[in-house]
Chains A and B, each alone.
Chain A
Amino acid sequence: MSLNEYFREIESLQFQIQFSVVGGLNILQLAMERSQTLLDLRLAIAEDAKLAQKIHERITLLLSKVETETQLSYDESIAAYLFCLFKESPAAAKAASQIILKYGGLWWSVQLAHCVQQQMQTELA
């Protein structure tokens, strides 16, 4: 699958709704751990470090769309990208989580960004 195909799938309504039903952050992370699409994307990031930067750029692009496009909030898509970065490229995840927290206004993405920041701080300590 090409990177653009991953973007198309992860940003589709079908992808977003399947993760929008979860009742808590731990279930979201558990569900994302089991997602084949995300497992494949994580593998691709692990093989090509440049992809982490492209995904970071994609997160920034989606964040700029959140307020103007009401048909999709992209919350679960952004959370999925952040989850993949956190698993495969923690430094990129830290930078992405800072941008997400700066924008705010999203549910799972913001919670996951807080979680990433906390875990990075714990690891540093």
Chain B
Amino acid sequence: MRLPWLSETTDKPTHNYTRSGWRIPQLNLWDIYTDPNKENPALVSIRTKALIQEMRANRKTSPAMRPSSSTLYNCVGLIFCSRRGHVDIRHIDAILRQDGYNEISLDECVAGDLVLYTFEGAPSHIASVSCVHMFRNDVTRLSVLSKWGKAGEVEHDHDQVPAHCGVPTAYFSTRLNHVT
């Protein structure tokens, strides 16, 4: 059942902060859209299905699409702003530092950890680990939840993303046993 939309509470942009208290730089969606909470879900769905179809054609594993939302947010907004904001990926290094994340290896990943992607050396995408697949004691692959830009949310193998999302290059966790 869909909960009632409280439109009177959305007339001003909201702010999100890291654990250190640093305000995450966010684009003011109201400067761009007349109503940023009304992204066209049909369009999001068309884009996501087309991307998945293209990945299937390239013999990559089939990602699972989640229902589309009418709110505009991106991969960083999904993880750090609870699906409420669009944060440019160029701020990701600062956010990870201000939130106390530590870099870990692929083998140390558990559900909830993060995968950072880079395109031509620049941070390009981030995803949250949803499941770790193991064979004997080795991690064989990770399932992750991410949002592909203006397309929808997708659960996919961590190394199966559209070309412009980049390639997985680093893994991060806030678990205390990784603090050195």
Contacts and interface: CB of A to CB of B under 8 A. Distances in A.
Interface of A: 13-14, 16-27, 30-31, 34, 70-73, 75, 104-107, 110-111
Contacts of A16: 47
Contacts of B27: 111
A104 B164 contact: no
Contact of B33 (A21, A22, A71, A105): A105
A24 B150 CA distance: 11
B88 A73 contact: no
Interface of B is mostly: mixed
A104 B32 contact: yes
B46 interface: yes
Contacts of B163: 18
A18 B163 CA distance: 8
Interface of B: 27, 32-34, 40, 42-43, 46-47, 50-51, 54, 72, 74-76, 88-90, 119-120, 122-126, 148-151, 161-166
A20 B150 contact: yes
A18 B164 contact: yes
Given A23-B74, A25-B88, A104-B33, 15 more contacts: A17-B51, A17-B151, A17-B162, A18-B162, A20-B47, A21-B150, A23-B149, A24-B124, A26-B122, A27-B119, A27-B124, A31-B119, A71-B46, A105-B33, A106-B32
